[in-house]
Homo-oligomer: A and B are copies of this chain.
Amino acid sequence: MNRIRLALMQINTVVGDLPGNVDRIRQRLDQVVDCDLALFPEMAVTGYPLEDLVHKPGFVADSRAALDEVAALSDRCTLAVGFADPGPDGTVYNALAVCRNGQVLGTVHKECLPTYDVFDEARDFRAGTGPLRLFRVAGVRVGLAICEDLWVPGGPVERLVAGGAEMVATINGSPYHRGKQAARESVVTATATWSGRPVAYVNLVGGQDQLVFDGGSMVADPAGRIIGNGPRFEEAVVCLDVDVDEVPTPPDGLPVVDVSDPVDRSDHLVVPPLAPLDEVGELYEALVLATRDYVHKSGFSDVCLGLSGGVDSALVATIAADALGSDRVHAVLMPSRHSSEHSVNDAEDLVSRQGLDDLTLPIEEVHRALGEALATTPEGEPVGLTDENLQSRIRGVLLMARANANGWLVLSTGNKSESAVGYTTLYGDTAGAFAVIKDVTKTRVYELCHWRNSQEPAADGRQVVPEAILDKPPSAELRPDQRDDQSLPPYDVLDPVLEAYIEGNRTRSELVADGHDPDLVGQIVELVDAAEYKRRQTPLGPKVTVKGFGRDRRMPIVNHYRG
């Protein structure tokens, strides 16, 4: 048996920030007192995912040069780090470098390129074709692989094990969605048990555009037990010793690159296991991290948002305050002639509980001026939906003006249910740079508020989201006595149909066959399809489900299918 000391380097990289990522790698390595093998996430040198940035040959050359800077940091331990490796004919490999004593001793190319959901790797990379090698680190023959290569039956990991790997280590850039960590644990532990080898899994952490990487790095022993793991949604360096049984070299074993000899690890470094997060709490943390990283990585510190007194903007304000600090959140109350007194009071109550910056800008005068201007058109003074949209757009204009004048970033506050059915105003409530809860159904918006209220209270000891906001029926307040359920089915009826249609890819006739009311299905499907053009113009926001309205759902706008 050999004992190898691993460092799971669960870091938060920035796409394109080559010097910054090298610095981050250096700083985090400085925290590691002593280890044999430090594992960094997929594409740690470049950030991930690169998307079309990878098609700039000059960038790829620069990133290859940055790898040499990382290799120079490998005097104390072996590094396994993800980078973009230039291939033939302008192609690029999604690659891993093994570095020691200042040298790149070998590289591994990702073979299985995910090309589904948010992933476009067949567009971005050339698939690796081996030949595979093992790296003997601290006396252990380690088989190294990248992300998807762990997941594919018959893939590289099976060949590494058959070829003599005594341990498997993978570097990953695996974004969060609901239930994802359980799926990862299942693959890691299943691989450990069928192979009889310890399996190490290191994941990226941090927000990148619509993705939020949640960390949750882990090591499983050959019995399929998680013997060490990293936290979720935060950077961490997790050092632990892994006992690795010696395996005879198979007759047709893979070539082995000798890196380092066994080290005495009789002090046996172990780490206490972390408790899993509950489902709603995990979602909340994902939204906080995504918001913080989008704002900060975009070079902003402060955000503003329209606070209506409703539950959506209350949740977004709360998430933003947790992400950025309440003094960085500028709430703008923009009551209209249709705003109820309780809405204004509820919004003010939330502001006072959380200590947000706030300002009230009534929209009445602007609304009147626009009404008068439009009254001169043949269609006359705006009424109905035109007028409802007008009010929402005035708010969008006011928010953008405040953001422009102060250098703030606007958060939009729409949820997934209303985005799905187009119960939104383009350039109105959809306006903003980041849509914090765009992939969160209305049902879950309430769950998140209740969960947050069950956690740390506001400074004054009260719950952070006023109960009145959670108790009243949802309303856009764009006409007198409006309630959402006048235009839409109740959310507990709507949300399951939306989930089956969007995430489940069901057709109208299949939904009816599933037992949903035909008229309701017809209405919902028509609304969802008709709103595609709107969704295409809305800001990005964190993907937290199997299928959000982002890179993960690429529906045509002109689409006459009604089945």
Out of B120, B540, B555, name the residue touching A554 (CB < 8 Å).
B120
With a cutoff of 8 Å between Cβ atoms, the chain B residues found around residue A14 in the complex are: 558, 560
Q: Give the interface size class of chain A.
A: 35 or more
**Nearest opposing residue in chain B for A14, CB measure:** B560
State the CA gap A537–B378 with chains docked (Å): 31
Q: Is the CB of B433 within 8 A of A427?
A: no
A427 touches B397 (CB 8 A): yes
Contact between chains at A374 and B398 (CB < 8 Å): yes
Decide if B538 touches A507 in the complex (CB within 8 Å): no
Say yes or no: A398 contacts B370, CB within 8 Å. yes
Q: Which residues of B contact A555 (CB under 8 A)?
A: 51-53
Query: A493: CB under 8 A from chain B?
Result: no
Most B Cβ at <10 Å: residue of A361, A368, A376, A426: A426
Q: How far is the CB of A207 from chain B (nearest CB, A)?
A: 8
Q: How far is the CA of A538 from the CA of B534 in the complex (A)?
A: 10
Assess the B379–A400 pair: CB atoms within 8 A: no
The answer to whether B400 and A426 have CB atoms under 8 Å apart is: yes
Bound-state CA distance A371–B398 (Å) is: 10
Bound complex: CA of A122 vs CA of B377, how far in Å? Answer: 50
State whether A558 touches B370 (Cβ < 8 A): no
Alpha-carbon gap, A539 to B376, bound state (A) = 28
- Verify if A365 is at the interface (C-beta below 8 Å from B): yes
Q: Which of A116, A123, A368, A507 has the most CB of B within 10 A?
A: A123
Distance, CA A110 to CA B65, complexed state (A): 40
Instruction: Check if B16 sits within 8 Å of A294, measured CB to CB.
Output: no
A residues at B contact (CB < 8 Å): 14-18, 20, 47, 49-53, 55-59, 62, 115-116, 120, 122-123, 207-209, 293-294, 297-298, 359, 361-363, 365-366, 368-370, 372-374, 376-379, 382, 385-386, 389-390, 393-394, 396-398, 400-402, 404-406, 426-427, 431, 433, 505-507, 509-510, 533, 536-540, 551, 553-563
Give 17 pairs: A residue, B residue, CB < 8 Å, sorted on A: A14-B558, A15-B558, A47-B560, A49-B556, A55-B505, A56-B505, A56-B507, A56-B561, A115-B120, A298-B533, A359-B377, A366-B370, A369-B370, A370-B398, A374-B401, A536-B540, A540-B557
B residues within 8 A CB of A297?
A: 558, 560
Distance A533 CA – B433 CA, assembled complex (angstroms): 7
State the number of copies, please: 2
> Complex formed: what's the CA distance from A509 to B59 in Å?
10
User: A-B pairs with the 7 shortest C-beta distances?
Assistant: A16-B561, A58-B507, A17-B560, A369-B369, A427-B427, A379-B405, A386-B404
Tell me the bound Cα distance from A398 to B389 in angstroms: 11
Contact of A507 among B59, B426, B433 (CB under 8 A): B59
Residues of B within 8 A of A378 (CB): 359
**Of listed A294, A379, A397, A398, residue having the most chain B CB within 10 A:** A397
Contact A57 B505 (CB under 8 A): yes
When the two chains form their complex, are residues A377 and B402 in contact, meaning their CB atoms are under 8 A apart?
Answer: yes
Set of chain B residues within 8 Å of A49, measured between Cβ atoms: 556
CB closest chain-B residue, reference A427? B427
Q: Which of A16, A116, A368 has the most CB of B within 10 A?
A: A16
Q: Given that A386-B405, A404-B385, A537-B538 are contacting pairs, would A58 and B506 also be in contact in the complex, using a CB cutoff of 8 Å?
A: yes
In angstroms, how far is the closest chain B Cβ from the Cβ of A302? 12
Chain B residue nearest to A563 (CB atoms) is B62
Q: Chain B: which residue is nearest A50 at the CB level?
A: B556
Question: Which chain B residues border A293 with CB–CB below 8 Å?
Answer: 558
- Residues in B with CB closer than 8 Å to A390 are 397, 401
Q: For A373, give its contact among B50, B363, B533, B560 (CB under 8 Å).
A: B363
CB proximity of A520 to chain B, nearest CB, Å: 18
Q: Are B389 and A400 in contact (CB under 8 A)?
A: yes
Cα distance A551–B527 in the bound complex, in angstroms:
24
- Pick from B15, B369, B509, B553: contact of A368, CB under 8 Å: B369
Tell me which of B120, B397, B538 contacts A397 (CB under 8 A): B397
How far in angstroms is the closest Cβ of chain B from A97? 20
A553 x B52 contact (CB < 8 A): yes
Question: Are A556 and B209 in contact, with the CB atoms below 8 A?
Answer: yes
What's the Cα separation between A365 and B359 when bound, in Å? 24
Q: How far is the CA of A47 from the CA of B556 in the complex (A)?
A: 11
